[in-house]
Structure 1
Amino acid sequence: MNFRARPRGRLPALPPRDQTAPVTAEASNHTARSAATVAGADRDVDAEPLFRFGLLADVQYADDDPRPQIDRYYRYSLGKLAEAITEFNRHELAFVVHLGDLVDHDLENLPPVLNLLRQSTAPVRQVLGNHDFLSRTGPNGVSAEADVFSAFGLERPYYAFDVAGWRFLVLNTNEVGVIAAEPQTERWLQGRQLLDRLAAEKRPNANAWNGTIGPEQTGWLEDQIEDAGTHGLRAAILAHHPVFPDHGDNLLDDHRMRERLPDFPALKVWFNGHQHQGGYGEHGGVNYLTLCGMVQTRRNAYAIAEVYHDRIEIIGFDREPTRTLKINS
C-alpha cells in the first residue's frame, strides 16, 4: 500500500530519529511499550476493551517550507500521517478521529491529506479547526463556510454517533468568534466584541484563533448528552479547542463550559487538539485530554484509545504520552 502521496512540492522523507530530537532509552522504550500494550501484552487477558479508536490532531499539512522558529514542519505531516494510518490499520478500530486543523493556509492543501485518510480501514471522523478555514486566495483570508463543510464531506459541522454504549459528540468550536466569519459582518462584529471583553478581563485566551459554540449548538449538545444518559450511554465530546486547564488556546467561554458540563453525569471525556504541546486535566468528574499536534516538531504524535468500563487507556506513540483516564460510574 503506497502512502507516499506527493504534494505540488517535494515531500521530504521523515528524518532519522537521531536527527530530529534527542531520544533517551526511556523514550525509545515508550514506543515499544505502547505497541505492546495495544497488542495486549501488558493487559489482563480477562479485561479486553469494549472498543478502540484512533486519535489524531493538527496534521496541519501545507505545501510550504518548514517554520523552525515556531517548530512547524508542514510537508512532513504527510509522512507522519502515513505512519499513523499504517499503525491504525494494524488494529481493529471502531473509528479514527482527527481533532481539527487538517490543513493550513488553504483548502488547496486538502486533497493529498484526504487521499491518505482514505487508506484507513476504519471510518474517519472529522472535527473542524481554525486553520481549516484559512485561505490565501479567498476574500478576507478565509474560505466560505459552505466550501469548508463541502470539502470535508460534512453535511453539518457538528454531529453525533454512537459506538458500543458511548455517544460521541463532534462540535464546531469555530462558530462564535472571528475565525470563520467574514470581517465587518454582524457575526464578525459580535465575535470581535466578545474578544474585546475577554481582553479587558485579561483572559489569556482572548485570541483571534480561538472560538466557541453558539446558543443553538449549545442546546443541541445539552440535549444529546441528556438523551445519552436517558438511554444508558456514556458521552464523549470531540472538539478542536481545549477547555481545561487554563491556557491561551482555550475555548473563548472555557470557564462557563467547564462549570456547566459536570451537570451532565453521562459526560465523561472532552477530547481536543489546537494546543500543540498537548495536556490533560480533570474537573468536576470530566476528563479533558489535549492531543499533541502532529505538525509540531519533526517527531510524530498520535494515539490509540482503548475503552473499558472503568477507564480509557490512551496508548501514545512518539510525542504523545500514554495515560489512563478514569471513568466514574
Structure 2
Amino acid sequence: MTSPRRAFLKNGTLILAASSLHPASLLADAPAETPADGLKVGIITDLHYADKPPGGSRHYRETLDKLAEAGTEFERSKPTFLVELGDLIDAADSVDTELGYLSTVNRQFAAIHPDRHYVLGNHCVDTLKKEEFLGKVEQEKSYYSFDRKGFHFIVLDSCFRSDGVPYSRKNFTWTDANIPAAELEWLEADLKANDKPVIVFAHQRLDVANHHGVKNNAAVRKLFEAAGNVLAVFQGHSHQNDLNTIEGIHYCTMVAMVEGSGAASNGYSLLNIEANGTIRLAGFRKQQSRELTSDRS
C-alpha cells in the first residue's frame, strides 16, 4: 500500500513530501558530530563489465570508459564513501574468466576511493561463489551495516534461492531471489539496536512483485516499517529509473551503467544526505535527479 504523499516538481526535480511515519525528531536530532552539510555517497550499479561483444542493448566493454567518467566526478565531489549496487560483472563460462573480469573492473573502481561497499548481484555470482567474489573485492560479508556521520547504512544480500541455498556456480534461476530467514533475523535485530536514520542498499528490488523483485520483499518491508526510521532504499537490477513510496519509505531504483553505447548513455549518481534527513540525489547522464524530503520540521 502506498501512503498518502505530496508530489510536485521544482526546477525539473521530483520532490516527494514524506508522510508522518518518520517523526521530525528522528531526522533533526542526529548526533552532534553530523556536519551541517551531512554526507555524500557515490552510487553506481549494474556495470556488467565483461570483455565480450555487445549483447542487445548492453555494451559490456564500454563500462570501463563509463566508470572512468564517474570516477572523475567522484574524485571532484569527494564523497564520504562509494556503493556499487550489484552486477559489477557479467556472467562468464569459467571461474578464471569471470575472476579476470572482476579483477579488471575492480582495479579501476578501487582506485577511486578507499571506502567502498559492494552489494551482491545475481551476475556477480553466476559462475563465482560468494566467497570468491567477496575475497577479490576485499569485503568480509555479503550483508552487514555500518554508521557514518550520524546515519545508519544497511547492505542486503538477496542472492538466495527460495530454499535458502545461496547463489553459486549457475545453481539458480535469477527470478528466484530471496532474503533468507537468518538474514531477516539479523536485519530485525540490527534495526532494533539502531536509533539513527537508516538508508538501505540492495540489488534486487524490494518494492515490486514482478520478476525483478525479491520474492519475500513484503516481509522485508514490514521490518523497515516497524523500525520507523528507514528513510530510503536504493536498488538496481531492473536497469531503469523508478521511484515508489510505500508506507513513507522511498524505494529508488537506479539506472544501469551498462545500457547503451557512448558517454551519453552512462548513468551514475551522487547522494547528498543532509543532517536533517533530506536526501538529494544528483543524477548524471541518464540517471534522474531526485529530492526526498520530510514534510515535518
Q: Does 1:248 align with 2:215?
A: no
For the residue of structure 2 that corresponds to 1:80, the secondary structure is helix
The amino acid across from 1:319 in the alignment is K
Do the aligned partners of 2:71 and 2:112 also contact (CA within 8 Å) in 1? yes
Distance 2:37 2:272 in 1: 6
Structure ranking higher on relative contact order (CA contacts 8 Å, 6+ apart): 2
Question: What is the CA–CA distance in structure 2 between the aligned matches of 1:323 and 1:284, rounded to whole Å?
Answer: 19
Closer/same/farther in 2, CA of residues 92 and 182 from structure 1, 3 Å limit? closer
- What is the TM-score of this pair, normalised by structure 1? 0.71
Report the counterpart of residue 227 of structure 1 in structure 2. Answer: 193
2:234 aligned with 1:267: no
1:54–1:303 CA contact under 8 A, matched in 2: yes
Q: 2:24 aligns to what?
A: none
Q: Aligned-pair distance for 1:92?
A: 2.4
| CA distance in 1: counterparts of 2:235 and 2:147, whole angstroms | 18
Distance in 2 (CA, whole Å) between partners of 1:125 and 1:208 is 22
Q: Distance in 1 between matches of 2:295 and 2:208?
A: 20
Q: What residue in structure 2 maps to residue 319 of structure 1?
A: 286
Please report how far the alpha carbon of residue 129 of structure 1 lies from its aligned counterpart in structure 2 after TM superposition. 0.5
Paired residues of 2:279 and 2:292 also in contact (CA < 8 A): yes
* Aligned equivalents of 2:161, 2:191: Cα separation in 1: 21
Q: TM-score, normalised by structure 2?
A: 0.78
Q: Which amino acid aligns with 2:125?
A: F
Measured after TM superposition, the shift of residue 181 of structure 1 is 4.3
Does residue 1:84 correspond to 2:76, yes or no?
Answer: no
Distance 1:63 1:175 in 2: 27
RMSD of aligned residue pairs (Cα, Å) = 2.3
Distance across 1 between alignment mates of 2:294 and 2:188: 20
- Amino acid across the alignment from 1:316: G
Is the Cα contact below 8 Å between 2:175 and 2:211 reproduced in 1?
Answer: no
Aligned length: 252
Measure how far apart 1:244 and its partner are.
1.3
Aligned residue for 1:50?
A: 38
- 5 Å-filtered alignment, 1:54-203, equals 54-68=42-56, 71-105=57-91, 106-121=98-113, 123-135=115-127, 143-177=128-162, 180-181=167-168
Q: The residue matched to 1:90 in structure 2 has which SS?
A: helix
User: Is the CA contact 1:133–1:179 (under 8 Å) kept in the aligned structure 2?
Assistant: no
Q: Tell which deviates more after alignment, 53-62 or 171-180.
A: 171-180
Q: Which has the larger radius of gyration?
A: 1
Compared CA separation, residues 182 and 85, structure 1 to 2 (3 A): closer
Q: Is the 8 A contact 1:240 1:272 kept in 2?
A: yes
2:82/2:113 contact within 8 Å kept? no
Using a 3 Å threshold, how does the CA distance of structure 1 residues 158 and 221 change in structure 2: closer, same or farther?
same
Give unpaired runs (5+ residues) of structure 1.
1-28, 31-46, 136-142, 192-206
- Residues 179, 159 of structure 1: alpha-carbon distance in 2 compared, 3 angstrom cutoff: closer
Name the residue aligned to 2:21: none
Distance 2:143 2:247 in 1: 24
The CA distance in 2 between the partners of 1:171 and 1:310, in whole Å, is 21
1:94 Cα deviation from its structure 2 partner: 0.6
Residue 213 of structure 1: CA displacement?
A: 1.5
Q: Name the SS of the counterpart of 2:83 in structure 1.
A: strand
Counterpart contact for 1:130–1:209, Cα < 8 Å: no
Query: Which amino acid counterpart does residue 290 of structure 2 have in structure 1?
Result: R
CA distance in 1, matches of 2:79, 2:114: 6
Q: Is 1:130–1:210's contact at 8 Å kept on the other side of the alignment?
A: no
Aligned-partner SS, 1:72: coil
Distance (whole Å) between structure 1 residues aligned to residue 241 and residue 99 of structure 2 = 25
Instruction: Give distance in 2, aligned partners of 1:294 and 1:236.
Output: 22
